[in-house]
A and B are shown apart, each in its own frame.
Chain A
Amino acid sequence: MFSVKYLRIVCLSRAAPHSHWPKASRLSVCKPVLSSSHCFTTNTLQNSTVDFTAPGKQSELCFCFNQVFRNCSTCQVKVNCWNCKQVLDKELTFFCRSCKVVQPSDDGTTFFKIMDCDHSFTVDVQKLQRRYLQLQRSLHPDNFSQKSAREQEYSESQSALVNKAYTTLLKPLSRGLYMLELEGMGIDEGTESGADSDFLMELMEINEALHEAQTPDEASKIGHDMKARLVELTEQIDTALQKGELQAAKALLAQMKYYTNIEEKVKEKLSEFM
């Protein structure tokens, strides 16, 4: 057995930033990291082109290693602990099993994996919340105030990622949009030129009625109506996603966005009455 330098790939899949909405395009960035490991006797390092572009650059890095790396975006590679160099035994590891040190966040994994949920529109919210608390109890930066700078940095990124995963999966709208994003689909920023004009008119009327509401009861009534519509939409979106009808799910999620906005305005209106 002899030690060989291996190129460890940590792949980051990241959607382009958007203030409200995830965009359809996904950027895959591979960040190569050199690490020592015991060799895999069947593998040989061939000459390959490696671009040590700093992470965060929007470019795809091409590697030509045989056998070890199948696909940059899936990254089925052995990952080593940065501290003790032991192989991390699972794809998603927050702490090294050997030295118990916090590991860098894996931005290439899905929120469903992070939160230990089935990749489904239906999510057990209570389980999600328990998982969130469990993870933050161990990952929160407050636990690392006496640790090294590197550990603090990893704790911050892990904690932030868990926050993002939790908030995305908690609400049906963001969860559904995230699922579309994973399929390479998103809602465009543009105008809905093909929208049903009756639907838009109805939205205008509801918004106007809410604006003109004189009593909390009037506003609450609209709020209840929106809630009922959102429940119905949630079921329809679940069905569409289960069947793989992404376009239908996209249209339904757009409707959900409009109704969710009105629901938020109801809350604002009710707070004005107080």
Chain B
Amino acid sequence: MAAVRGTAPEPEPALFRAKLANVRPMVNMLKTISFRPRARCVINPDGLVFTVEESQCLVAQAYLRAELFTTFSYDVQLAEYYRNQEQAGFEAEDSQDGEPSDVTQVVLPLDNLIECLTLFYGPSGTSSSGAQSGAHSTATLHTSGNPGDLRGATTAVIAFNGPGTDFELMLEERGTISLCRLSTFVPEPSVDLKFSHYPTTQQLIIKSEWLRDAFNELDPTSESVSIYIASSEPHFRISTIGESGSTDMTYSNTERILDSFFCNEDQENQYKLSLILKCKQALAMSDKTKIRINQRGFLSFQFMIPTAADVSFVNFVFAPLVSADESIADATARV
């Protein structure tokens, strides 16, 4: 990108700057959690984490490790400096309590971010061949001297300069360059469902295609889906009760289906179906899913998604539905 740097204004020493050879893995990961307009982006030396939260019952996180990026530079001292400035301004509110000081948190408009990244995608949603945009572009034309450019793939440079500044994206495809600035927002106190605070009582890893079939069979007229894991047959059962009757899928503990199975206690929990269905996109892209349920009944789906010759993870945590008979006190007493 040396040719580009010669004409574009030299950026200031940036807090965070990363370059992506191909935006497609990042776009795929972001699309799995794109059911909310805004996402919190946490930048730390190991990579980026995008988090979305819905009605305080569902938290979804997409992890983009630093190894996914061609270059990844994150200035830790600068982050701490900005952080201290912020804390001083807020009189040490507990909003960032417990967070290590070397991370930077910022809230980005997620759907705008995805639109910008997919700017060069053609009408079919896939990366355009580049010829069309190259011929009709109005942005600065540069011959791309970068040998790493894949044919028809968009490269991107993302940069962030600290709280209060815009999140910058520079996209380049076949010589067409586009510069996007997204306004950022101050992060609100995050919802943490504290999944790891309680011991995991049940865990299994299942091939995603079986889970995909199960999700397709779930009765959409039903309010809740019930997940039952036991140490005896049937080991794993997903069921819904809808207007036309009930549907359930049962899986046994065979190696072909369940890669690993661990069950400390037999438990059946209910979750809101509309929330569970939000992870359909992540499920569609993943190879394997790890399902964990902790002592409180919180459910965690961890999807393993292949990205660029490696794997990335997207994590969904759901809060269980408490039944009408069981009061909240009983549910917490169950812990």
Asked if A pairs with B, the answer is no
